[in-house]
Amino acid sequence: MDILITGGTGSIGRVLCRTLKEKGHGLTVLSRRPEKVKAICGEGIAALSSLADLPASARFDAVINLAGEAVIGPYWTATRKKILWDSRVTLTGQLVDFISRAEIKPQVLINTSAVGFYGNGGDDVIDEDSPGAGGFAHTLCDGWEKAASRVEEYGVRLCIVRFGLVLMSHGGMLKSMLPSFRFGLGARIGDGRQWMPWIHCADLIAMIELLLENPELSGVFNGVSPNPVTNREFTAGLAKALNRPAFFFVPAFLLKAAMGEMGQLLLEGQRAIPKRLQEAGFEFRYPDLGRALTDIIG
């Protein structure tokens, strides 16, 4: 396939690009740093700096949209929220606009979203049929998914993947946690009862490949392991994998004071499961947290 990828230079995108390239696919990566695409994603991958550079005659069999500024980062000011919105919702709208004018439409758009769509789910088990609720994270994900849904007007199959916490050694939340845990300073967040839906990066890449290659699959899929854990369990599991203690905790009031509205993402959670993936027969290589952490850290 000839595939257009946004967010290809990110921590997940670079793994996906190398995997797809090894499988013989032709890749074009949209990036604000096109000169770095080859070094980050691999040789033989075309780089694109703007969708406006694509003529209507440009042909792609698939589009994979991974773009989006990190949600956990600078304080959520009005300016920061606009950056998060534009990097997801506005860019997705521009992708759909390109598809609308393309003379030959892609077969599929695989679009990222997040389990933050569901809001705080408490202890309820959440699958793809569960409603979304509350807060900026839900508003952001909802707008993102609605922007992508326009592509169906042009006869393009749409798959939306709601990511959980993606585990990998070279990026994401786990990378930022490892230094403190290695020094025995690992800490649970608040009371540690909030659920953390997670997925090993290798399983997420395999999931995207499954959606790419199976035309009968469409709609929303939770990109999570079948075994979510609480923050308390995650903290203990990571400490065990590193053979380090983890006695500390970050009080909720300190987190709220330091991070404001953004802190709710760490204090709330979703007991999300990949119901539709399992119904499609997907087999996880790393269904359990212990096995996943051992693979990444070991």
Of 76-80, 87-91, 222-226, 246-250, which gets the smallest average pLDDT? 246-250
In the predicted model, is pLDDT for residue 9 greater than 90?
yes
pLDDT score, position 275 = 98
pLDDT score, position 173 = 87
Average pLDDT taken over every residue of the chain: 95
| Tens of pLDDT, residues 158-188 | 999 999 999 998 888 898 899 999 999 999 9
Question: In this structure, is the dihedral angle defined by the CA atoms of residues 49, 55, 60 and 66, taken in order, positive or negative?
Answer: positive
Residue 138 half-sphere exposure toward CB, CA atoms < 13 A: 14
- Give this prediction's pTM: 0.95
In the predicted model, is pLDDT for residue 272 greater than 90?
yes
pLDDT score, position 171 = 85
- By 3-state DSSP, what share of the chain in percent is helix, strand and coil, each rounded to 5? 45, 20, 35
d(CA 38, CA 66): 18
Residue 151 half-sphere exposure toward CB, CA atoms < 13 A: 31
pLDDT score, position 143 = 97
Q: Which residues contact 244 (CB under 8 A, 6 or more apart)?
A: 181, 182, 183, 184, 186
pLDDT score, position 134 = 80
Domains of the chain: 2-233+236-297 (3.40.50.720)
Q: Structure tokens of 105?
A: 């439409």
| Tens of pLDDT, residues 41-85 | 999 999 999 998 899 999 999 999 999 999 988 999 999 999 999
Provide the phi-psi class of 68: left if phi over 0, else alpha when psi is between -120 and 50, else beta: left
Q: pLDDT band for position 32 (50/70/90)? A: confident
What residues are paired with 56 via a beta bridge? none
In the predicted model, is pLDDT for residue 133 greater than 90?
no
Instruction: Give the closest residue to 45 by CA, choosing from 27, 25, 30.
Output: 27
pLDDT score, position 292 = 97
pLDDT score, position 53 = 87
Alpha helices by DSSP H, 131-213: 135-149, 172-182, 201-213
d(CA 219, CA 279): 13
